[in-house]
Structure 1
């Protein structure tokens, strides 16, 4: 997976289709992000560079309640790629 704006947009599209809001804010985030599950908001540290944003979203997505059946074909493929990359990093 390449660390480009296009890749970031594709990953953010997964969250958008599942009605999560991605916000980039300033703050003291222990891990670089905060998930407000009840409000379906994901807040990332705005000072993260492109690679950090992508890696953080790859870490977040498996934690969320996402139904792949509700995603478009393109978003579903990206979702599967994200899960595979996350699983490879866990090993």
Structure 2
């Protein structure tokens, strides 16, 4: 799925979760907040769609997304991104209690 199409799908999920999405210019990466009772996610317009996808995917993962319908193709893409974002374990740092 193309990044722009996937971004639209993520935006629909965010809307189902009760958040409004704003794209602004500035010196910031992007985050969610509550402003005057409105739940917002602000994305930096200067960043590419791939950065927006990563931020929105992380937001969806960290919030209760199981209560919302996510199309199977979109869920598959989300899971790919979540797996890429997961902290990588370095096998050299793992110890066994043997």
Question: Whose radius of gyration is greater, 1 or 2?
Answer: 2
Alpha-carbon displacement from aligned partner over 1:43-89 (angstroms, at most 9, x marks no partner): 011111121211221222223x32422x2352x76356425531442
User: What TM-score, normalized to structure 2?
Assistant: 0.67
* RMSD between aligned residues: 2.5
What 5-or-longer segments of structure 2 have no aligned partner? 89-98
**Number of aligned residues:** 85
Going from structure 1 to structure 2, the CA distance change for 1:10 and 1:34 (only over 3 Å counts) comes to same
Aligned equivalent of 2:78, options 74, 79, 82: 82
The structure in which a higher percent of residues are helix is 1
What 5-or-longer segments of structure 1 have no aligned partner? none
Contact 1:10 1:78 in 2 (8 A): yes
